[in-house]
Structure 1
Amino acid sequence: MVAMDTARNASAAMAGLLPIMAAVFAGFLLIGLALPALPLHLHQGLGFGPFAVGLVTGSQFVASLLSRIGAGNYADARGGKRAVVVGLIAAALAGFIYLGSLALLDRPAASAAMLFVGRAVLGAAESFIITGGVAWGLALAGGQHSGKVIAWVGTAMFAALALGAPVGSALYTAGGFAAIAFATIVLPFATLLATLPMHGVGPAGATARQSWTSVAQAVWLPGVGAALSSLGYGAILSFAALLFSERGWHPVWLPFTAYAASLIAARLCFGQLPDRLGGARVAAIFVAVEGVGLLLIWSAPGPLVATLGAGLTGLGYSLVYPGLGAEAVSHLPSGSRGLAMGLYTVFLDVALGFGSPVLGLVAASAGLQFVFLAVAAAAVPALAIALLLRRKSSAVRRV
């Protein structure tokens, strides 16, 4: 009877993740909408070159990085739901700034400056939405489901970014950048109206929170492992289509689609494995799968093998990030998990923000295919970290 009640409570808690996933999905769809449209608007509409485009679009990632810890602290102090609400309000504000930039089209520099600010506000909004969403889910489902929470909420984020690009392209074609601006205003408010009636979980209280340094000590090793394994995602995102194009393989979008489809399917079907088997053990198994996939892309004689490699890479990465994330929060009190996830996500930001340019240098000097060999090599220390964490977890359980 007790086991049945526990299972029923766990199912109810996990079902409660669905509306949180919907809120995260809507929030990240906003970011994806502008990904294809903003560079075109800056270049074609305002007449700026690649440097200005990179400056404006990059402001989002810098703002996300700088706001992670603040978002985590806010989620711990005020609750994950409130952090998501703040993020949605900030996202709508970014839409108003986008709209204001259109009133300055006759002054391109001023218009671009407003877009820079709007994109930075959206980056901070993203931090609050994802960090608050994970903290909210962890508080609702409990620490014993941390791996599944991270996997499922992360899947909503990934799916939204993937869908946002084609939807944003369609909106931009139909109504120009004004359509993107209006969507960035309307969608957060609609999501906010749906989110406010949802059940929130209050903060755990100051007595259950640990210091910043204690949380950082718990997070840094899983974070480094996650950063190394995330380089494969960055390689697929930035260089897979270029590799296909260089070799005359079609369609060029196939590797990313295979990667995304296998990642989403694996997280939805197997997202409970880190909680059942242990985050470090699952991460060790799946980072090895990721490495095999990357080696297949590097050595692929044709598009089918490369696509298979991309699918295996997505399958592998699918549970590395939540597995190591579960290890990062497993020994922390509930009142510090928001900060822990904020710090943990910083490692992903750094890996993608700084790793991709380094991989670009590898491509320029050795060729595109060697990018995938390099990130496969990075999976080796990630595997070592996962094994080390598994050994530490086993030692703690024995004590």
Structure 2
Amino acid sequence: MDIKELFKGVAVVIDDKINDKESGDLILNIIEKLEKENIPLLKYNDIPDENIISDFNNVSFILLDWELFEKPEGMYFDEKPFIDNVINFIKILQQVTFVPIFIFSHLESDTIITKLSEEDLYNDRSSNYIFVKKKSDLISDEDENKVFTEIENWLKQTPSIYVLKEWENQLNQAKNKLFWDFYNINHKWPSVLQKTFTDDGSDVNYELGNFIFKNIMARTEPIKFDEKILSISDDELSKDELRKVLEAERFIRNESLPDIPHTGDIFRYSVNGEKNDRYYLNIRPECDIARKRNPELYCLKGKIINEDDINPEEQKDNEIRFVNGAFIEKVNKIYLPFVIFGKIIEFTLNDIKIQKWNSIKADRIGRILPPYITAIQQKYSFYLQRQGLPAIPEKAIVNN
């Protein structure tokens, strides 16, 4: 892992001593180390205005001092407003970008971590995107690269940031390839595609964005992640935590979706006027939906299963078998695990409901992602083409 390569790009440094060359503050040594590695820095001696913070969405990292003030000697000084300002800055950043924050201060790390934890910005039982370290622990006569060594050690314990930085680098390379490829073909390529999508009756904004995304992914080189950083033991993850991660991998909640219909949309509906865990899943192909303002959706009906029916100790008529990491599904049923707060939904293939988008869009709760929705579409297609066979007499199989 090349830590300097991972964190290449413009970084932001906020420290009240950043321009005070006579202060002897260790931030000056840290900045010298960063600039020696050709990391371009945006420097501030105080928290910047909120309209500037909104432009931090593409920075590589934020290096932040905790105490952006000078304590007067022998006098009472209320530091709370200054600390609150730092905390507010971090909370604003959360709304702008997901970026590693390095808090390097003269204070002991535990003091800062305690305050961050009180504000729900730090969980000392887990890895965190905020790295807190005392400045004096980052400078060493024996190790000129102590700053990078400490960041690397922290990164090895923070897989979410590690994956982000590896992915960002590959994504940026693919993005550049895409736009240079098409620019060299025709400078007006977006206009050409706009006309094509318009003539086809499609939503230009959606189709052009989707086109760019697919082409970037096609140009992305396989990422070689460090397995040692990503590995986790079974006892580090509870059943509920595992379900939450698996849900995020296959299901997007409605608040993160655009207001347009799509294959995989899932809706909650009422039976006898009550919201009682009944769902519609749209399996109509995307190409049929995109061209219409108020398309018809082909919806499978589903309900949350009783998990006591999975592999019961005593045989039951409605039992559900789970073997070798997969559900054994009957020909007319599909099980979709870990969506909607980790629940498992059973969809039936023999009862499809046609619904207009405008009539049920207010009930959409999220979307099932590929390859899960693709597998459901494939099984439904197979179900429609199935060939019934006569039953085998029990006497031919079972011993009397």
Report the TM range for the smaller structure's normalisation: under 0.3
Higher strand share: 2
> TM-score, with normalisation over the residues of structure 2?
0.24
> TM-score, with normalisation over the residues of structure 1?
0.24
Higher normalized contact order (CA 8 Å, seq sep 6+, divided by chain length): 1
Higher helix share: 1
Larger radius of gyration: 2
